[in-house]
Amino acid sequence: MAVANNELEKVIIQSVLEELAKKGMLSLKSKDHVMSAAMMDTPLLPDSSDEEMVTFPPLDEMQISNPFNADAVKAMKKSTPARIGIGRAGARPKTMSWLRFLADHAVAQDAVFLDVSEEFLKRMNLMSVQSAVANKDEFLTRPDLGRRLSEEAARTVSEKCEKNVQVQILIVDGLSSSAIEANIPDLLPALMQGLKSAGIKVGAPFFVKYGRVWVQDHVAALVNSDVIISLIGERPGLGTAESLSAYMIYRPNENTVEADRTVISNIHKGGIPPAEAGAHLKDVIKQILAAKASGVKLNQQK
């Protein structure tokens, strides 16, 4: 049991530090220092020259002892990242399966609790505004505040954003900062290029911190756009913490309901590749503009 606990701590600490380093919040050198300090009393993570880091077996690797139909289990495991065919030790999961579960859970929590980095926003040249939410805790407990901009943000959008465009693009952190940083660098240029090549007038994209889906309605009222699209981080799961959704709506108003929104979800490297999603979203937006409708109303016209 002591060995399992050591392995567990090793995976969780390694996962968290790598996520911080990836987001630019921790340099590799600092990561080494933090790791050394964390392990001072119990050296679980020795230098890689002395011992290899913990690695997980591939998801599709057979972990059931003496399966009745091994080929069927292998085929299922190759078709999904779901935790099937992981075996057990008595009534409990095997150690490696349990460690993978906890490591994936830690990554999912990081995606929710970490913010999109300032360096990323600068690199993508995205203006940043904030919803009416004051902090992360309030964001998680008061979804209603995430559905509208703060007074300062509303003034900024009114003053700096182009009005009366056909399409306004929002980048919204939602419930996964990881989804934004993983997908936007490929998705946004593909979408922008596609819309401009189609002769569609697009406002400059900008970022909304602590935003929910309905914040797009508030922005649409301020900029008077025909279509507004929110590229927003999905609630992370244990399969991936990098999944993004695109919510599109035609001229929302006080009577707008969820059925009025068109949604493309599961955008990430293991689902719809971000560059491919950008090209597809351009086609969907063209349909929305032509039909002057989105969501169920759009589908009824097809």
pLDDT means per 10 residues, the chain with 302 residues, are 54 64 53 46 44 61 79 80 79 80 74 83 96 92 95 97 97 90 96 96 96 95 96 78 93 92 93 95 97 94 75
| Helices vs. strands in the chain: H and E counts, helices first | 11, 6
At 10 the pLDDT is 61
At 42 the pLDDT is 41
Q: Exposed (0-12), middle (13-18) or buried (19+): which is 90, by Cβ within 10 Å?
A: exposed
- For the stretch 95-100, contacts whose Cβ atoms lie closer than 8 Å and that sit 24 or more positions apart, written own/partner, are 95/4, 95/7, 96/56, 96/57, 96/63, 97/63, 98/4, 98/8, 99/4, 99/7, 99/8, 99/11, 99/54, 99/56, 100/56
Q: Which of 64, 93, 113 is the last residue of a domain?
A: 113
7 shares its domain with 76: yes
Residue 51's domain is classified under what CATH number?
1.10.30.40
234 is in an annotated binding site: yes
Q: Using CA atoms, how far apart are residues 287 and 121, in angstroms rounded to an integer?
A: 30
At 11 the pLDDT is 62
12 shares its domain with 132: no
181 is in an annotated binding site: no
244 shares its domain with 125: yes
**Domain range holding 14?**
2-113
Domains held by the chain: number = 2
Q: Which of 81, 97, 113 is the last residue of a domain?
A: 113
150 shares its domain with 205: yes
Q: Which of 113, 134, 159 is the last residue of a domain?
A: 113
At 146 the pLDDT is 94
* DSSP β-ladder status, 127-130 and 206-209: parallel
At 3 the pLDDT is 47
At 46 the pLDDT is 44
70 shares its domain with 209: no
